Amino acid sequence: MPLNAIISNIAKDERGTVAILWGTALVAFLGFFAITLDVGRLNATHAELQSFADNVALAAAGELDGQPDAITRATNAAANLISDSQTFANGPTALSGASDYTLTFHSALPVSDVAPLGADITTDARIAKFAQVALTPKSLTMNFASALDKLLGGNGISAASVSAEAVAGYSQAACDISPLMFCLPPNWESTLTVGDQILLRSGGNNTAWGPGNFGFIDLDSFEDTSGVCADEGGNKLACLIAAQNQITQCVLTNGLTTEPGQKVGITNAAFNVRFDIYRSVLNGEKNNVDFAPAPNVIKGIQKKGGGSCIQGNEEITPDTTALGRDTCMAAGTCGGNNRFGDGVWDRAGYLNQNHDLADGVADGVGGDSHLPALSGSESVFAGTRYGMYLREIAYGDSDPHSAPNANAILNPALAETGRPMCSSEMSDDPARRVVTAAGIDCAQNPVSGSTTGVPVTKFVAVFLTEPVGDDGGSPPSFDIHGEVVGFPDVTGTGNGGNGFGGIFRDLVQLYR
């Protein structure tokens, strides 16, 4: 047979074609199968690691409440509360403990979710609000894909490195609080303690606020239309400050809006109902139980010419005095702008003026043995003005010498007995003279007039030591003299700490 015919026959012969096609398809199928298995193992491992990272970040973030041991607790929670496992990566299958991740804390996050972290890393437990978890990479051998690569003449595929990262943050929703905010002093976390006096002065409309300036929270995002103050017309701010059972919406503490404008007169009156003083827009509320005064209203002033209701014409009482200011504040030596004291006040002078022989028994000058001692959780207030206030209330409730005048805390012969005289109502809550203010770091978050997105650094409970008044300037600013008695949000969910009201709900969420 001619050579050309043989070649022609071979070209026309289709036997074995299917085998070639099957062989080629088998290689492609095995490759696809190998890649599918290894990619599936890779995805499953990443999912397991990501779940572990998410849970570690959430556990750590849940402890970032701003207390001095917050980072320690967060670190321990991450290491001890969370365990998981991975299935396919090399090494141990168990996931638990700090060796499996790196934990970093941040005070803030970038505005953009795609921006890298790092600028706000902190080791300060007071300002740490976000926990970043980066898992230690795991090695995953690509067994099937590597075998196929070698089958095709390659050197195999290197093991894949698998990791995961998560960022969780802590915030709070604050409910049933006063719409009051103020600028914290520098280094507040180490200098602001229970018993220290603070002077809060109303901030200007167009100038940046400094430590001790205060303002209000915008009511549009604050007031509850079903609350006590829902029908107060144009006096809602005054109502929310003055009402003893405030019912407000919950506001997220990581971004408040401030309320602009001077409010001298209206808000003076709103604070002072606690002292049995009813003026301005609160003049008609003196017998309204929603605006009842505190059970102890010693204030060192009385209506000039006599009478039970102070309404603008008052004078200093001749034989009683208000709780004193910190001596360094009175002397102008507290440092800084003299707005934050050190808790040292003339306690003996107050006792000598108001309590010497108050129980009919000679205690000696400045004696306090007639006052019931503080006990339990109240013992933290020993030596403070708030502790004196509580002891006076307890004394008035139990003193047999007050039988002729059961409404007395001090000697009924004095200008002030300590009990309300103007209002027919009286609150039974000693915390009536305590207001909860949102403390702002105004150096990091400048406030001027109406400012949005202002984060709360720490809520501070302030005991009003004397009635609120203006400074006599033009236009006047008004001053709140108070004493720090606690940080109500330290207990997390539920009612505020130390019984100072407000409801604070922890919010922990993943951000990345």
Local structure of 188: helix, strand or coil: helix
Which runs of consecutive H residues, i.e. helices, occur in 62-200? 70-81, 143-151, 188-191
Check residue 491 and give its pLDDT: 45
- The model's pTM is 0.71
Stronger pLDDT, 443 or 208, i.e. the higher one: 443
Residue 375 has a pLDDT of 87
How do strand 213-217 and strand 197-202 relate by DSSP bridges?
parallel
* pLDDT tens string 223-257: 666 667 776 656 777 888 888 875 566 676 766 77
Query: What percentage of the chain exceeds 70 in pLDDT?
Result: 68
Rounded Cα distance between 102 and 79, Å, is 11
Per-residue confidence (pLDDT) for residue 360, from 0 to 100: 44
The share of the chain scoring above pLDDT 90, in percent, equals 9
Which positions ≥6 away from 43 have C-beta within 8 Å? none
CA terminus-to-terminus distance, the chain: 78
Confidence of residue 362 (pLDDT cuts 50, 70, 90): very low
Residue range 346-371: average pLDDT? Answer: 70
Q: Are 146 and 159 in contact (CB under 8 A)?
A: no
Average pLDDT over residues 186-194: 84
**Res 198: pLDDT:** 92
Give CA–CA dist 268/281, Å, rounded. 10
Lowest mean pLDDT among 14-23, 43-52, 331-340, 483-492: 14-23
Which carries the bigger pLDDT value, residue 368 or residue 95? 368
